[in-house]
Amino acid sequence: MANKTEGGTRFLVKARQDQWLRANGLRGVLSCLFTRNLHLIDLAEKILAEVKTRKQVPASEWRALVKRFNVTVSNYESCLQRLKAAGMVRRERGMYTLSSDFSRFLSQTAEIWHEWRAS
């Protein structure tokens, strides 16, 4: 597990769990991110789906989303912060969008590992 760094978050690596991960899809990935707050996985799925569907979600809509998702402000903020820290969501000019930062980091991690093993 990676330690939290500035602008980052923890992500639990589950070795030899390929079938489990594939079977659980996004929910499996999110369970590696929300290891202590499993109840936030549902909320994370809703937030990501909202951003994916709309492409851009104004940050100013937080009150409406809290009400629509029927969650506390604290849980909404905590979940969104974790998604941003992981690089799944990005906030720019007051708009939330999906980000490639998360997948880019994981791809680079795999590349570095493969290069090191081959050397």
Q: Quickly state the pLDDT bin for 1 (edges 50, 70, 90).
A: very low
Pairwise CA distance, residues 102 & 98, whole Å: 10
Q: Quickly state the pLDDT bin for 36 (edges 50, 70, 90).
A: confident
**Using CB atoms within 10 A of its CB, is residue 96 exposed (0-12), middle (13-18) or buried (19+)?**
buried
* Bigger pLDDT: 9 vs 25: 25
Q: How far is CA 11 from the centre of its chain?
A: 9
pTM: 0.86
Predicted confidence (pLDDT) per residue in 55-107, tens digit: 999 999 999 999 999 999 999 999 999 999 999 999 999 999 999 999 999 99
Domain boundaries, the chain: 39-118
Domain 39-118 class in CATH: mainly alpha
* pLDDT value, residue 5: 45
Q: Quickly state the pLDDT bin for 2 (edges 50, 70, 90).
A: very low
